[in-house]
Amino acid sequence: MFFYTRLALTNLKNNAKFYLPYLLSTIFTTALYYIISSLRFSESLQDHSSLIAFLDVGANVIVVFAVVFLLYANSFVAKNRKKQLSLYNILGMEKRHLIVMMMVETLITAILAIGLGLLAGIVLSQLMYLIIVNLTQASLEFIITVPLVSMYRSALLILAILGLSLLANLVRVIRSNPIDLLAQQSQGEKEPKTKIFLTLVGLVSLGAGYYLAISITDPMAAITMFFVAVLLVMLGTYCLFTAGSIALLKGLKANKNYYYLTRHFTAISGLIYRMKQNAVGLANICILCTCVLVTLSSTICLYSGIEDSVQLQCPVTQMITTYYAEDQELLENIVKKNIESISYDDYFSIRAYQTIGLVQGTSITFDPDQFDNFDNYATINILSQSDYNRGFNQDLDLHGNEIYLYSNYGYKENRITFANETYQIAGTITQKAIMADNSYSPKQLAIVVNDETIANIAFLKNSSPKFTIGFNSEADLEPVIEQVEADYTSSKEKVLYSLTNIDQQRAYGYELYGSMLFIGIFLSLMFMMAAVLIIYNKQLSQGYEDQNKFEILQNVGMSQQEVKQAIQSQILIFFFLPLVVSVIHLGFAYKLILNVLDLFLIGNTNNYFKATLICIGALVVIYCLVYRYTAKTYYQIVKK
């Protein structure tokens, strides 16, 4: 066993360029999963249901992604060891010896990955705890914990993945013979043919995905069709990278003025024979970069829009809403009596009928069958002149079909039609509180009509008004609400109460969207790690495949400067293509993502535009750094 252990350690050392990225990826995955799991089982976070739910989602995504990603990384390592294993076999090692050696290598990898991964996870989990507490603005005590269940789950996950990788490697060895293993290492790709059908499938799929993304306006439909659009775009991306890239290379080859230059000739001639392999890798990089951009930009936008959402929902710090109250005057008197002992200001009360309508020009439609454009959805409060005057201490005097109107988007017309009547707008209302406790819709309207008119609006006759009392106060209103309910129900029927506190709404927003941002950052790190490793592996593999070719070219007179130019040309041809395509994908998905975000009451959609620009800029910087390193590594391999 000592012999196999020493041989395994030697193999790992001699193949460090292949093994080290794989080992680092496994360590990184172990640490990520442990961090998510340790936060999930942290006792101090158990009362935060939204956070726990997102941590569960994040952990499940990491498990699925880790299996796929690490199996891919293992296949790359295994492919580049074919020559070494074939030589061992030819020199006298039987397959059973190779199996034992590979099992020892896997055991060493498991020990290093689990040990270092858990160590990094335990250290970083404390920092992540502080970050998530800061993002969610939760009032929690800092407690250092190391959940054993998280260590167990992390170790089990990595052992299962490494076990699957070992099984795949053993199958390759058992089913191959030394001659095949040796020959496969030196086999080149045949020149691929231009696949017209696959190109058409890619164009149709990509076009259909883009069309869905830009044509859907209803957020509920956007959520459903978002995944359909994603699948179509992914299919189109793989088809076009596989078929379209070959067509592009052949087009460049046909351009004699471009092709017959030293820096272009070697690059294109090398890429065109390996494009089938390169295309899939490039498509993977493109999809991963798109995932990073969509995930990060969306979660950053949601987080940055918290204050806008809170202010839109809560014009004052405290709101008491009741439904189906028989005697609202009595209820208001009881509320006023119970808040006499606390300090408050900006008091108002609203008795209004709240409904959802579709604003089209100067008309409001209340028929749900005609609701087909979410951008025109409006939450509408309809209240009488007397209720408005009493609630806001005003003295409006409306006659006939005169109304007063509030709109959050600047309604410019002097008339509006609803319920088969056209009303003249006598003036506008500026109090945002008139839309207190509103629902999630892009437009908001409040309509004040005279008392006779509201009694004649047919669709309101079978509806019950909502009664909202609001004011600014820093006091704890829970005891007040309990006393109000006790006083009111002693003489009237029990009613449904809800207390909206701006601090509670803000806390809920930070817990929900802070959790989303935290998980978004984690998943983006996972996607970015995968993209970087694929880029590195692709360049490393190409470097060793091109080593002999560049050695021959240098022997016949190619200078070191020309080698560098050829390498730069080869890398630049397709290195930045995935990044460009991922930005194009995001551009077409921009409207669809905004429609989905509308459901979360984003007060300022410019937040998403800013977040998108920040994410693209950060990704470009990271991409350029990876490009510089991989180009340098590639050159070190192929130079004479």
- Domain holding 93, by residue range, is 1-187
- Residue 69 has phi, psi (to 5 degrees) of -70, -45
The predicted pLDDT at position 38 comes to 87
Q: Which of 501, 520, 543 represents a domain boundary (last residue)?
A: 501
The predicted pLDDT at position 161 comes to 92
User: Over 80: is that where the pLDDT of 524 sits?
Assistant: yes
Question: Is residue 617 in a domain?
Answer: no
pLDDT category of residue 156 using cuts at 50, 70 and 90: very high
The answer to whether residues 315 and 502 touch, using CB atoms and an 8 Å cutoff, is no
User: Over 80: is that where the pLDDT of 244 sits?
Assistant: no
Task: Give residue 408's identity as a one-letter amino acid code.
Answer: N
CA nearest 209: which of 613, 586, 594, 597?
Answer: 586
7 & 156 share domain: yes
pLDDT category of residue 261 using cuts at 50, 70 and 90: low
- Higher-confidence residue of 367 and 623: namely 623
The predicted pLDDT at position 461 comes to 67
Q: Which of 501, 532, 566 represents a domain boundary (last residue)?
A: 501
Q: If you average pLDDT over residues 273-281, what whole number do you get?
A: 67
When mean pLDDT is compared across 7-16, 29-38, 612-621, the lowest value belongs to 7-16
Q: If you average pLDDT over residues 478-492, what whole number do you get?
A: 72
Question: Is residue 467 in a domain?
Answer: yes
Contacts of 343 (CB under 8 A, 6+ apart): 473, 474, 475
Question: Is residue 114 in a domain?
Answer: yes
Question: What is the residue-averaged pLDDT of the chain?
Answer: 78
Q: Give the CA-trace dihedral at 117, 123, 125, 130, to 10 degrees.
A: -160
Q: If you average pLDDT over residues 417-437, what whole number do you get?
A: 82
The predicted pLDDT at position 360 comes to 81
Q: If you average pLDDT over residues 487-494, what whole number do you get?
A: 65
- Higher-confidence residue of 147 and 404: namely 404
The predicted pLDDT at position 327 comes to 67
Question: Is residue 232 in a domain?
Answer: no
The answer to whether residues 446 and 434 touch, using CB atoms and an 8 Å cutoff, is yes
When mean pLDDT is compared across 54-58, 463-467, 563-567, the lowest value belongs to 563-567
Question: Is residue 249 in a domain?
Answer: no
Q: How far apart are the first and last CA of the chain?
A: 39
d(CA 465, CA 444): 17
Contacts of 542 (CB under 8 A, 6+ apart): 270, 274, 278, 570, 634
The predicted pLDDT at position 157 comes to 92
Mapping DSSP onto H, E and C, the string for 88-113 reads HHHCCCCHHHHHHHHHHHHHHHHHHH
pLDDT category of residue 178 using cuts at 50, 70 and 90: low
Question: How far is the CA of 236 from the CAs of 330, 527, 588, in angstroms?
Answer: 65, 20, 14
Question: Two tokens at 109?
Answer: 């990898």
B/e letters for 401-434, b = 16+ CB within 10 Å, e = fewer, are ebbbbbbbeebeeeebebeeeebebbeebebbbb
User: Over 90: is that where the pLDDT of 544 sits?
Assistant: no
Q: If you average pLDDT over residues 587-604, what whole number do you get?
A: 74
Mapping DSSP onto H, E and C, the string for 286-319 reads HHHHHHHHHHHHHHHHHHHCHHHHHHHHCCCCEE
Q: Which of 481, 501, 521 represents a domain boundary (last residue)?
A: 501
Structure confidence by residue, pLDDT tens digits, 343-357:
888 888 888 888 888
The predicted pLDDT at position 141 comes to 63
Question: Is residue 212 in a domain?
Answer: no
The predicted pLDDT at position 155 comes to 92
User: Over 70: is that where the pLDDT of 387 sits?
Assistant: yes
Question: Is residue 224 in a domain?
Answer: no
The predicted pLDDT at position 139 comes to 66
d(CA 339, CA 333): 10
Structure confidence by residue, pLDDT tens digits, 299-340:
888 888 888 778 777 778 888 777 666 667 777 788 888 887
SS3 content of the chain, % helix, strand, coil (to 5): 70, 10, 20
Number of domains in the chain: 2
Longest dimension (CA), the chain: 105
Give percent of the chain above pLDDT 90: 5
Q: Give the CA-trace dihedral at 149, 152, 155, 159, to 10 degrees.
A: -130
Contacts of 461 (CB under 8 A, 6+ apart): none
Question: Two tokens at 323?
Answer: 């439904």
The predicted pLDDT at position 444 comes to 83
pLDDT category of residue 114 using cuts at 50, 70 and 90: very high
The predicted pLDDT at position 571 comes to 67
Question: Two tokens at 519?
Answer: 């998980």
CA nearest 505: which of 596, 436, 608?
Answer: 436
Q: If you average pLDDT over residues 178-204, what whole number do you get?
A: 65
Contacts of 454 (CB under 8 A, 6+ apart): 353, 382, 383, 384, 460
d(CA 53, CA 452): 50
- Higher-confidence residue of 92 and 38: namely 38
pLDDT category of residue 557 using cuts at 50, 70 and 90: low
Contacts of 441 (CB under 8 A, 6+ apart): 356, 374, 377, 378, 379
Q: If you average pLDDT over residues 46-72, what whole number do you get?
A: 82
Question: Is residue 339 in a domain?
Answer: yes
- Higher-confidence residue of 253 and 115: namely 115
Structure confidence by residue, pLDDT tens digits, 224-235:
777 888 888 888
